[in-house]
Amino acid sequence: MDKKAKELEGIIRSNIKSIKDNKNLSSLCDGLEELRKSMDSYDSLWTNTKDWFKRLFKFGKKKDLCIAQLIDIVNDFDKYKTEDKRKTINKLTELSKIKDRTFLEKIISVLRAS
């Protein structure tokens, strides 16, 4: 992997850490936008990005804008028509619905576990 790709990876990793600390969400979106522009040139980055998306799923609430950008990024990878890509998009879509859940729906999902 060349120097530019490594730099981008570094940016994304540090931005992921910022998200975990609830800081600097906009720079994550900017970093991902940079990643998207370079993605076609650096095929190996796609494998790493899946791990980064997985890490994002574990965090609490997300800004809708960032999720929409993430979905666009995954959708742009037309040549990667894999089961993982479908699952990634489904998970991101589910994550974007968190804000829309009513309190009654939250109660029902807790009762389901009783």
Partner 1 sequence: MKKVLKQFFGQGIFYILFFGLVVLVFAFFDLGFRWDNLNIDDLDVLGYITLILFRLIIYICPAIIMYPFVRKKCSISKCYSLQFCWYSILLALYNLLSLDYILKVDLFSKLDSFVFILGFVLSLIFNKQLPVETTDKFKQDK
**Residues of the shown chain interacting with partner 1 in the complex, contacts defined by CB under 8 A:** 54, 57-58, 91, 94, 98, 101, 103, 106-114
> Cβ of residue 61: shortest distance to partner 1, in angstroms?
9
Of the pair 37, 106, the CB lying nearest partner 1 is at: 106
Of the pair 21, 114, the CB lying nearest partner 1 is at: 114
How far apart (Å, rounded) are the C-alpha atoms in residues 102 and 107? Answer: 9
> Cβ of residue 88: shortest distance to partner 1, in angstroms?
11
Of the pair 2, 103, the CB lying nearest partner 1 is at: 103
Of the pair 65, 107, the CB lying nearest partner 1 is at: 107
